[in-house]
Amino acid sequence: MSRAIRAASGKGSAAGRRYRLGFPPRVGRELSQRERESAGDSGPLRALRARAHRWNNGIGLGSAFAAIHHSGEGRELRLKNRPIRTGIVGFGFGARIFHAPFLAALPEFEITHFVQRSSSSASDAYPGVRIVPSVEELVSQPEVDLVVITTPNDTHYPLARLALEAGKHVVVDKPMCETAAQAQDLLHLARASGKVFSVFHNRRWDGDYRTVCEIVRQGLLGNLHEFESHFDRYKLQLKAGSWKEEPGPGTGMLFDLGSHLIDQALALFGLPERVFADLRSQRLGSRIDDHFEVILDYGAMKATLKCGTLVREKPPRFQLFGDLGAFVKYGMDPQEARLLASDPPRWNRTLGVDPEENWGLLHTSVNQLVFKGKVETLPGDYAGYYRNIAAAIRGDEALLVKPEQIVTLMKVLELARESNREGRWMEMTP
């Protein structure tokens, strides 16, 4: 039995006893036909899986570009025999917590440069790296293979464009840019360059999200009818001087955290039929949307994505309800909190191990047997994002976070804002 499915102590068991179930099916394999039938793998569930397959394989999202990124043709084979030399633009929160610790730990990469205009603090944390004052100087360095952009949202588009035009592989922090038109332009440029271009959607490697994906993939809830995902915080005070508190086309919680929630939903379920959104400014003096509710309509199933900054008591991170059962999960993936708590932030293999008290509750039935108990959370692994980047650059794997997916994500974000302005559902077109 998989380590991912573990029951809590049942009725009549010794206090604190845990045991492994003989069902549900082992994580990591496909269901048999009989298991699919008993798990309710009927038309609606198959339709959701087909949507997700099309999304994750680039079908209908730019097949020519998908072929480039799947074939590995024209890749720099010389990078198979040495680390990928990487320059990081910026050394703020994102670079320090989410990028540098993983790039420094993985043998596939070597951090060679940081861009810092008025400081050299990155060299204190990473001795031996070279500090350069501008992105122009960074991309002019012939030894740099990969440029990682961690600067404010309104700089993503021009800096990514500059790096792609210089012939570099590029990773840009989310959101990719400020508009779908900018995203489309970067996609065309990436196609022409033949370089790997991806957006840092690390939340696909959250342990709770990985667990949800397995539960859905295995059909343990039958035909899914409701999916609800929260990313809530309690931040009563505005952060003075922060660009994130300033109104603009790429700021606000919808673009900041909504990018993650929408990306997770699209990766799991594919394109919705319609989009509805309610955006609000709740904190005193706030000039951005600091609360949102986005609903993605999949016909028989709806996905509700919510974020608030005045949520002192957190609701479940995930709630899923199907005709055979339910899954409810509290608590955030622990990787960010553990990186913040370490000084300096460093990656290790235990970062993504979820504490047992946060394991999700699964209540379902399989083959006429009812199960209600805890499911051990699959480990989170943000390093997995960069392992895939390295493999894609070397031509060994398909790119997982494809830019054509993110172009569509940008369109969903724009539809959400339009829905909020007009107070109506917006139709989603491919």
Q: What is the pLDDT of residues 398-408, one digit of tens each?
A: 999 999 999 99
What is the tally of structural domains in the chain? 2
DSSP secondary structure letter of residue 31: P
Q: Is the pLDDT of residue 198 over 50?
A: yes
Domain co-membership, 115 together with 166? yes
List pLDDT tens digits, range 242-260: 888 888 888 899 999 999 9
**pLDDT at position 15, please?**
32
CATH code at position 107: 3.40.50.720
β-partners of residue 7 are 19
CA 377 – CA 48 distance, rounded (Å):
23
27 lies in a domain?
Answer: no
9 lies in a domain?
Answer: no
Do residues 210 and 378 make contact, with C-beta atoms less than 8 angstroms apart? yes
419 lies in a domain?
Answer: yes
Domain co-membership, 292 together with 365? yes
Domain co-membership, 212 together with 188? no
CA 126 – CA 34 distance, rounded (Å):
54
CA 38 – CA 160 distance, rounded (Å):
48
State how far Cα 394 lies from the chain centre.
22
Q: Is the pLDDT of residue 178 over 60?
A: yes
Between residues 366 and 134, which one has the greater pLDDT?
134
Last residue of a domain, one of 202, 227, 259: 202
List pLDDT tens digits, range 372-394: 999 999 999 999 999 999 999 99
CA atoms within 13 A on the CB side of 132: 17
Domain co-membership, 238 together with 371? yes
Domain co-membership, 249 together with 310? yes
CA 400 – CA 331 distance, rounded (Å):
26
**pLDDT at position 6, please?**
43
**pLDDT at position 19, please?**
22
* Angle in degrees, CA 229, 234, 240, rounded to 5: 120
Give the structural domain span for 176: 72-202
297 lies in a domain?
Answer: yes
11 lies in a domain?
Answer: no
**pLDDT at position 59, please?**
52
Strands 224-230 and 318-322: antiparallel
**pLDDT at position 123, please?**
93
Give mean pLDDT, residues 209-218: 97
Domain co-membership, 224 together with 363? yes
Q: Categorise residue 281: left if φ over 0, alpha if ψ from -120 to 50, beta otherwise.
A: beta
84: CB partners within 8 A, 6+ apart: 108, 109, 110, 145, 146, 169, 390, 393
Domain co-membership, 197 together with 183? yes
Domain co-membership, 122 together with 161? yes
Domain co-membership, 293 together with 318? yes
Last residue of a domain, one of 150, 167, 202: 202
CB atoms within 10 A of CB 30: 9
| Mean pLDDT computed over every residue of the chain | 87
Domain co-membership, 252 together with 367? yes
Last residue of a domain, one of 144, 171, 202: 202
CATH code at position 372: 3.30.360.10
Domain co-membership, 299 together with 181? no
Do residues 60 and 51 make contact, with C-beta atoms less than 8 angstroms apart? no
Domain co-membership, 367 together with 415? yes
